[in-house]
Amino acid sequence: MHKYYCGLTVSQRNTIRALQRIEREDDDFERDEWERVLKQLGEVSGRIATLATRMRLTPQSRYGARGADTAARSVGDGPKPWEF
C-alpha cells in the first residue's frame, strides 16, 4: 500500500507540473486539455486522501465521531495558530 501511495504522490506532482506548463506556455491553451488535466489531478488527490486515511496518516483516521468531539473539546482556550 505504501508503494501505491508514493506512486500516487509522484503522479500528483507530475500532474501539477503539467497543469502549470499548460497555463504558463499556452496563452490560448486548450480548455479541454486543461479540464482533463484538472480532473485527473482531482482524482489522484482523492485517491491519496483515501489511502492516507486507510494507512492512518491523517488525524481523521484516528477518531470516531465521539473521539473527535472529545479531542475538539480538549483543545485549550489559547490563541489559535493563525492568530499569532
Global model pTM greater than 0.75: no
What is the per-residue pLDDT across 4-20, written as a single tens digit (0 to 9) for each?
888 999 999 999 998 88
Domain count along the chain: 1
In the structure, what pLDDT confidence band is assigned to residue 68 with cuts at 50, 70 and 90? Answer: low
Instruction: Look at residue 80 and tell me if it is in a domain.
Output: no
Report the pLDDT value the prediction gives residue 47, as an integer from 0 to 100: 93
Report the pLDDT value the prediction gives residue 52, as an integer from 0 to 100: 85
Instruction: Look at residue 40 and tell me if it is in a domain.
Output: yes
Residues 36 and 55: their CA atoms lie apart, in Å, by: 29
Integer-rounded Cα radius of gyration of the chain: 19
Mean pLDDT across the chain: 80
Report the pLDDT value the prediction gives residue 46, as an integer from 0 to 100: 93
Residue 12: burial class (beta carbons within 10 Å; 0-12, 13-18, 19+): middle
What is the per-residue pLDDT across 27-59, written as a single tens digit (0 to 9) for each?
666 778 888 989 999 999 999 999 888 887 766
Contact indicator for 52, 63 with CB cutoff of 8 Å: no
**35 is in which domain, residue-wise?**
1-52
